[in-house]
Structure 1
């Protein structure tokens, strides 16, 4: 481990990374919360809303590969700084979108910033924490994402009709630009010192020495998890409205999903450190499948809030535990690139999720049917993570 990683103040690093994750979570959830008002103003149909939501995820895929690769060569801090500034600037651009084409471009470029930041947060968590605390540290950083999502949902709920959708994105863009100096001057560099002659090629790192099957399974379970997660982040308020409730109930469901997701991130991270990845994650995915099945038939607002909260607890907790699992598969010299590949490929699920919801709604599926369609996805993730953790050196 690099000297700066050993001497860094872990609490300060976690706090800064938590803030970055919270700002990402704010912006991602902002689109879902803003969509019911944004779509009519820009004249978008359900399919176009799905594409606009997925444009950020397409950018994130490319940003994750590029950001992880670059960070292993130039350091974590400069890439994290540039990525944060990028998603701040283009979140502001989203607020000024005059039409569908501009909106797609702004969301794509915002996603590039998201993608560049995420593998660096994962690598930093691995490099400042003891192995027995890695999952808890990673989860503590990344629970900023649901906290940020909860903040925008709460802002919308409290402000009601007075909160313009453009103001939501302006705030979400200004805050990352304000935190950029903190990253530049307070966040230490944690990149490990490279061993002489170390192989830093990405393909051998991902697929060499028996890692091919674990890498593919890690990608698959990330993709399945993010399909569910981003469908919920982008469509939950709209689907609740489609069940016959008002925008306030939709915002409340998003708030419950994110707030309880923070608890899920922290508690499942601790459970993984104590009990291992395998059974903790399998149980989480089975419970997630149950929550999605219950949401399909939930009619009253209290039921919707309860099962939205349970889904958030499980899917967010599982996703952040996967972020802690990824660095254990790869050598330190390619840790960010390996994590970036897992984030990038997994994010195809985050692209598919919003698009799938939009297309199913366009085809006439009810809100309940869209939610219920996530049950087999969650069960498939349970199977994939069981096999993955059975093959790795930390089977749990």
Structure 2
């Protein structure tokens, strides 16, 4: 039993590291933006599209990665995915034009997408039933740790840091991590059952799963609108409020560090109390935090409310990761989780684009933050509806 626990801990650690390098790269775009945007001559709409290109790739990669892993195994898909986002992070650092940046971010996102549903499936499959949310949260809190690392590097290095260096680091680390994945990560794919129905459409919509599928997708999308708007635009919006770039980096770091704490605490609470009411309350609190961030003017208030928003939105998102795969049969868990990640990621595409278009239309930073309040309230309502219709498959 002790040996099994140690092995499980190593698997969580490996997956935590994979999530950390993903989180680093995703946050790196927002951290690099204040210097990257003027150097490449991007307008706000182009910045929004460049930020969303990785998420468009992630949508495609998540569908393909989850489906492929249920057939070939999670480990080879993870290795290939990590290699892909490592290589194209380096290509991002070499971009000299808007078009080159756009395609590099898209390819990086394909790698992200291939990895994410498999991390979710691995977490659910190695965890005890009463520890699933906490295990997923422990694994995926690597994402805000990576994001905070990106912001911390930028803050410590100061104005002399070349934005390209941020992406070089984000490309080298995943490539170094590949041998660790090969050596330590076991294959967790369920044994092949010739009689199992592997039709993805039926897995998602048959057996009274249609309503839960649509609702979990909607919850993912709305959560990710808020999360990725903040991840990609928080430093820029803080600077546009009249604060120095260092304050924007500090807000991003506070958002991510608090997100780690929120991931673990919210995951633990949902394991103990169920996810219906705790997550609904988290979304209502998130709406209040975004409204507060819109009104914040002092550095202390901006840091405190950025931290509150990170705590709440990441706590909610990573708990949803634990909920999603349990709605589907075990032999289609990777594909089901991949579909939820992929469709939900439409929100991560929309978030940066919404911010870019609102800024282009003349909205102030405060008004951009305020638009996220009704989004969080809608997510709370959807969560309550999901709880009434969900029938876990395992």
Note if 1:306 corresponds to 2:338: no
Distance 1:195 1:49 in 2: 47
Pairing partner for 1:243 from 233, 241, 248: 241
Number of the residue aligned with 1:25 = 23
Q: What stretches of structure 2 of length at least 5 have no aligned partner?
A: none
Matches within 5 A, 1:369-380: 369-380=367-378
Cα deviation for residue 87 of structure 1 reads 0.3
Cα deviation for residue 8 of structure 1 reads 8.0
Tell me the TM-score normalized by structure 1.
0.97
Residues 253/20 of structure 1: CA separation in 2 closer, same or farther (3 Å cut): same
Pairing partner for 1:354 from 352, 355, 362: 352
Cα deviation for residue 210 of structure 1 reads 0.3
Pairing partner for 1:210 from 208, 211, 221: 208
Distance 2:386 2:65 in 1: 25
Distance 1:289 1:232 in 2: 13
- Give aligned pairs, total: 389
Contact 1:8 1:188 in 2 (8 A): no
Matches within 5 A, 1:189-204: 189-204=187-202
Distance 1:52 1:139 in 2: 28
Two-structure CA RMSD over aligned residues (Å): 0.9
Number of the residue aligned with 1:87 = 85
Number of the residue aligned with 2:45 = 47
Cα deviation for residue 186 of structure 1 reads 1.4
Number of the residue aligned with 2:175 = 177
Note if 1:96 corresponds to 2:69: no
Number of the residue aligned with 1:328 = 326
Cα deviation for residue 7 of structure 1 reads 8.7
Cα deviation for residue 393 of structure 1 reads 3.5
Number of the residue aligned with 2:128 = 130
Cα deviation for residue 231 of structure 1 reads 0.2
Distance 1:190 1:103 in 2: 36
Distance 2:193 2:386 in 1: 28
SS of the residue corresponding to residue 362 of structure 2 reads coil
Distance 2:359 2:256 in 1: 23
Number of the residue aligned with 1:339 = 337
Superposed CA offset, 1:224-252 (max 9, x none): 00000000000000000011100000000
Distance 1:113 1:131 in 2: 29
Distance 2:6 2:63 in 1: 26
Number of the residue aligned with 1:115 = 113
Superposed CA offset, 1:15-51 (max 9, x none): 0000000000000000000001000000001110000
Distance 2:249 2:5 in 1: 42
SS of the residue corresponding to residue 227 of structure 2 reads helix
Cα deviation for residue 100 of structure 1 reads 0.3
Pairing partner for 1:224 from 222, 225, 238: 222
Distance 1:35 1:385 in 2: 33
Contact 1:281 1:385 in 2 (8 A): yes
SS of the residue corresponding to residue 345 of structure 2 reads helix
Contact 2:209 2:391 in 1 (8 A): no
Number of the residue aligned with 2:253 = 255
SS of the residue corresponding to residue 198 of structure 1 reads coil
Distance 1:386 1:158 in 2: 43
Tell me the TM-score normalized by structure 2.
0.98
SS of the residue corresponding to residue 358 of structure 1 reads helix
Distance 1:69 1:327 in 2: 13
Number of the residue aligned with 1:388 = 386
Note if 1:68 corresponds to 2:77: no
Residues 8/345 of structure 1: CA separation in 2 closer, same or farther (3 Å cut): farther
Q: What stretches of structure 1 of length at least 5 have no aligned partner?
A: 1-5
SS of the residue corresponding to residue 186 of structure 2 reads coil
Distance 2:83 2:314 in 1: 25
Superposed CA offset, 1:74-124 (max 9, x none): 000000000000000000000000100000000000000000000000000
Cα deviation for residue 184 of structure 1 reads 1.2
Distance 1:254 1:40 in 2: 20
